[in-house]
């Protein structure tokens, strides 16, 4: 019954490495998001995408990039990992909220998270 | 961008009803209000959504006044397993949405 899958639960990388975090959803959602979560700071939005090949910067995009080549897959890329990017990374998806609304569930579905440690 | 404000923390005894209020003063006409529950080391889990008035499901109730500038999540008869962080999030169209820091609910035996 898993609907949003993140490729790794735990990851340890070295400073300067290029890191790829993969996220796949099977709900045909238009929107996908990447957040990081740190103690006391809540969830902070890194990037989001509302369509294939579309991306928008969130609140903290510096040091990150994203790729969305297919509707179901949204990748987060750390170009050169640094120790301050040690964090829990959470991927989410949601349907596009049309103007007509309706009875559709517009809530976000999250993956289980990837705990990344950069050493 | 609909920003939300919630209390940072709340304590409640087991068996009591808990009400967590969220303010979202600049909610747009087409926006929906959603609530999530998060346990440590897990991703948030969607609980309930609403547009106006009252919505109830097997987990919680959501009360939304006519002006929609706030909403209240009601958890009936909480148990220790309801100890978690609860987030309110306003969603709509393609707009960027940001989670706040949520409300940390501690249920006391």
Which chain B residues have a beta carbon less than 8 Å from that of A4?
Answer: 43
B82 φ, ψ to 5°?
-85, -5
Which chain B residues have a beta carbon less than 8 Å from that of A44?
Answer: 98-99
DSSP code string of B45-86: EEEEEESSEEEE-SS-EEEE-TT-SEEEEEESS--GGG-EEE
Which chain B residues have a beta carbon less than 8 Å from that of A115?
Answer: 41
pLDDT band of residue A103 (cuts 50, 70, 90) is low
Among A50, A59, A111, the residue with its CB nearest the CB of B98 is: A59
What pLDDT is attached to residue B66?
95
Residue among B66, B67, B68, B54 nearest B19 (CA): B54
Q: Do A97 and B45 touch (CB under 8 A)?
A: no
Among A92, A96, A107, the residue with its CB nearest the CB of B49 is: A107
Residue with tokens 């009252």: B54
Distance (Å, rounded) from C-alpha B53 to C-alpha B72? 11
Q: Do B32 and A101 touch (CB under 8 A)?
A: yes
The distance between the two most distant Cα atoms of chain A, rounded to a whole number of Å, is 49
Instruction: Look at residue A101 and tell me whether its pLDDT is greater than 60.
Output: no
Q: Do B49 and A92 touch (CB under 8 A)?
A: no
Helix, strand, coil proportions of chain B in percent (round to 5)? 5, 50, 50
pLDDT in tens, A39-93: 888 889 999 998 898 999 999 999 999 999 999 999 999 999 999 999 999 999 9
pLDDT in tens, B25-74: 888 888 899 999 999 888 999 999 999 989 999 999 999 999 999 999 99
Q: Do B96 and A110 touch (CB under 8 A)?
A: no
What pLDDT is attached to residue A107?
85
Determine how β-strand A114-118 pairs with β-strand A10-13: parallel
């Amino acid at each position: 019954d898993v609907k949003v899958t993140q490729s790794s639960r735990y990851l340890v990388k070295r400073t300067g490495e290029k890191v790829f975090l993969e996220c796949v959803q099977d709900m045909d959602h238009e929107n996908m998001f990447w957040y990081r979560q740190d103690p006391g700071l809540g969830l902070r939005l890194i990037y989001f995408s509302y369509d294939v090949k579309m991306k928008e910067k969130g609140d903290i995009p510096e040091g990150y990039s994203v790729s969305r080549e297919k509707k179901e897959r949204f990748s987060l890329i750390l170009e050169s990992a640094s120790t301050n990017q040690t964090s829990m990374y959470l991927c989410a998806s949601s349907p596009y909220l049309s103007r007509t609304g309706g009875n559709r569930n517009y809530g976000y579905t999250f993956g289980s998270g990837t705990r990344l440690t950069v050493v | 961008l609909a920003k939300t404000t919630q209390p940072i923390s709340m304590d409640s005894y087991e068996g009591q009803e808990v009400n967590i209020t969220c303010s979202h003063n600049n909610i747009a006409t087409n926006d929906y209000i959603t609530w999530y529950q998060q346990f440590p080391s897990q991703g948030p889990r969607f609980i309930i959504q609403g547009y106006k008035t009252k919505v109830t499901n097997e987990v919680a109730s959501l009360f939304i006044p006519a002006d929609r500038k706030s909403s209240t999540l009601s958890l009936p008869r909480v148990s220790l397993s309801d100890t978690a962080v609860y987030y309110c999030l306003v969603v709509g169209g393609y707009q960027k949405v940001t989670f706040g820091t949520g409300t940390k609910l501690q249920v006391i035996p």
